[in-house]
Amino acid sequence: MSSPKVGDEVQLRVTPDRYVTVRYAGASGDFNPIHVDEEFAQQVGLPGRILHGLWSMAQVARALEPLTGGDPSALRSLSVSFRGMGRLEQEIVVSGAVTDLQDGVASVRLDAVQGATKLIKGAIATVRAD
C-alpha cells in the first residue's frame, strides 16, 4: 500500500443481491422484518425489503481498502450520516477523496448513493497513512 495523499480518490461499486438482508440479519442479529420480510415491509409502506443501514456503512468502510491496503486495523474512525433507504439489487456507488493528512493520519470524506438516493452523506473516515 502506498501512503495516501490529499486528493486521492476512492470508489466502490456494489450491487446488493436479493439475499443480503437475510444473511446480514443472521450476522448482525438485526431481524427487523423491514429487512427480511417482503410482505411486512410493503404493509408498513415501504417499497419492499430495505438494506440495513449498518450494511451500507460497511460498504463505506470497504471503499477505503485502496488506502488501507486491506488492513482493517488501518481504519481509525468512521462517522456517517444516514440519509436514505437502500434497496436490493440496485447498484450502490461509494466515492470519496482524501481531504487532509496530518501526523500520519488521512481524513477521507465519502458519500454512498443508489441512483438518485443518497444513502450516506458526508461520511468522515480517518485511516493510518504510513
Rounded to whole angstroms, the Cα distance separating 32 from 36 reads: 7
Q: Find where cell 501526523 sits.
A: 103
Q: Which domains does the chain have, with CATH numbers?
A: 9-128 (3.10.129.10)
Question: Helix, strand or coil for residue 32?
Answer: coil
- Per-residue confidence of the chain (130 residues) as pLDDT tens digits? 568 999 999 999 999 999 999 999 999 999 999 999 999 999 999 999 999 999 999 999 999 999 999 899 999 999 999 999 999 999 999 999 999 999 999 999 999 999 999 999 999 999 998 7
